[in-house]
């Protein structure tokens, strides 16, 4: 069994063969993947060594100390946190070999084509249709919305309805969609911040080979649960240092600007600091749980806490700064590759945090998931459970 000492030995061999100071970053990342040091818990040949997930920190620490490049995980977060674990679990060997290496290295950016204008909170009600052709390929028509990184993505994970004659959860199939194919149109969605990091995506007669279907026909909802559970862990369980995340800027302002302090604001800041630290430590426990298996529904609770905390902390920061907190540098529409809170004003952080309770699953839906799947409370009454999708009121 691969242990920490063996991983340190393999890492030393990689650094000796590909010195970071003399090696092109892309070549180093490819060599790291091929050495099984990308994600050590993945199987051999797919960037891993079949080692315990908890030992990834050993490799990361050795490489960071040597000044090795990383794969810019924030830029390719959807691929790393959502597409990769789903492909690993449900993909064919050909799919794993084709997609995982360029995904991890950062050669190919991924996006997620799940939500629709009429299927956001109720994702299983989606109406994008995939119809199988005589040659076995699929032709997809529909619209997706709130798609992060679609304007820079090469690939997308896509769920579409393949059988309208069965209940909504049963007639969905999961695909890997080439964003450069004819019929894929990406349009920007301008947000309250002035930016357009999100998009709407129109699919018009997009042809997808059956070889890019992930999982069985009609089993897309089950496959999508792997994606969604990993997404919520990725959003709510981000590894942060102490005073990381939004609590960091407001704590810094409090220390550096004593003239802004009041007793009431002090009490509120202390309460939020404690809650942020509790959420950080809970995230660490969740990552330990991940080391022994797939993420469960507990990630929904973490994502809930993340959204609420970010909104409350950013609101406190704006209130602390007063009129200064309302300043915002530029309303010109920009098309960022990723969300970047660093170096931005309090006003930006306040506005952007409003989306936290929508993206990655609305807080209302996640509350139901926690109640039913984690706490075991009775489910809400459902009148659509056994009704064919085509017969649902829309």
Residue 228: partners with Cβ closer than 8 Å, 6 or more residues away: 361
| HSE, side-chain direction, 13 A CA sphere, residue 96 | 17
Please, which contacts does 183-187 make with residues 24 or more away whose CB atoms are closer than 8 Å? 183/140, 183/207, 186/147, 186/150, 186/151
CA angle 349, 353, 358 (to 5 degrees): 160
From 18, 116, 231, 317, active-site residue: 231
Q: Is 251 helix (H, G, I), strand (E, B) or coil?
A: helix
Query: Which stretch of DSSP H or E encloses residue 291?
Result: none
CA proximity to 358, closest of 82, 120, 111: 120
Distance of alpha carbon 299 from the chain centroid: 12
Residue 324 catalytic? no
Q: What is the dihedral of CA 93, 99, 100, 102, to 10 degrees?
A: 150
Question: What is the 8-class DSSP label of residue 383?
Answer: S
CA proximity to 200, closest of 75, 316, 86, 111: 111
What angle do the packed helices 247-256 and 346-353 form, to 10 degrees?
Answer: 150
CA pair distance 283, 281, nearest whole angstrom: 5
User: Residue 292 burial (CB < 10 Å; 0-12/13-18/19+)?
Assistant: exposed
Catalytic positions, please? 231
């Amino acid at each position: 069994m691969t242990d920490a000492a063996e991983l340190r030995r393999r890492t030393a061999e990689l650094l000796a063969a590909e010195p970071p100071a003399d090696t092109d970053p892309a070549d180093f990342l490819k060599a790291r993947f091929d050495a099984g040091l990308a994600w050590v818990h993945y199987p051999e040949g797919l960037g891993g060594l079949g080692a315990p997930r908890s030992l990834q920190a050993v490799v990361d620490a050795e490489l960071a100390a040597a000044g090795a490049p990383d794969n810019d995980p924030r830029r390719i977060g959807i691929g790393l946190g959502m597409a990769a674990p789903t492909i690993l679990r449900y993909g064919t060997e050909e799919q794993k070999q084709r997609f995982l290496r360029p995904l991890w290295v950062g050669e190919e950016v991924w996006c997620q084509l799940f939500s629709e204008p009429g299927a956001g909170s109720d994702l299983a009600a989606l109406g994008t249709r995939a119809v199988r052709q005589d040659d076995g390929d699929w032709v997809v028509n529909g619209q997706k919305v709130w798609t992060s990184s679609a304007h820079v993505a090469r690939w997308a994970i896509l769920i579409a309805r393949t059988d309208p004659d069965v209940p909504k959860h049963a007639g969905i199939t999961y695909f890997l969609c080439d964003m450069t194919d004819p019929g894929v149109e990406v349009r920007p969605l301008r947000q309250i911040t002035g930016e357009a990091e999100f998009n709407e995506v129109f699919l018009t007669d997009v042809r997808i080979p059956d070889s890019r279907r992930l999982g069985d026909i009609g089993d897309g909802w089950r496959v999508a649960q792997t994606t969604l559970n990993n997404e919520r862990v990725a959003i709510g369980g981000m590894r942060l240092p102490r005073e990381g995340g939004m609590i960091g800027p407001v704590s810094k302002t409090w220390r550096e600007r004593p003239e802004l302090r009041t007793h009431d604001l002090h009490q509120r800041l202390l309460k939020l600091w404690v809650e942020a630290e509790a959420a950080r430590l809970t995230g660490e426990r969740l990552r330990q749980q991940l080391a022994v298996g797939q993420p469960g529904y507990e990630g929904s609770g973490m994502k809930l806490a993340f959204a609420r905390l970010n909104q409350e902390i950013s609101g406190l920061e704006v209130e602390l700064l007063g009129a200064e907190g309302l300043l915002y540098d530029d309303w010109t529409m920009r098309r960022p590759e990723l969300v970047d809170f660093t170096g931005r004003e309090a006003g930006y952080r306040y506005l952007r945090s409003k989306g936290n309770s929508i993206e990655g699953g609305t807080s209302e839906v996640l509350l139901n998931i926690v109640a039913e799947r984690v706490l075991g409370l009775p489910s809400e009454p459902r009148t659509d459970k056994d009704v064919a999708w085509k017969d649902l009121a829309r």
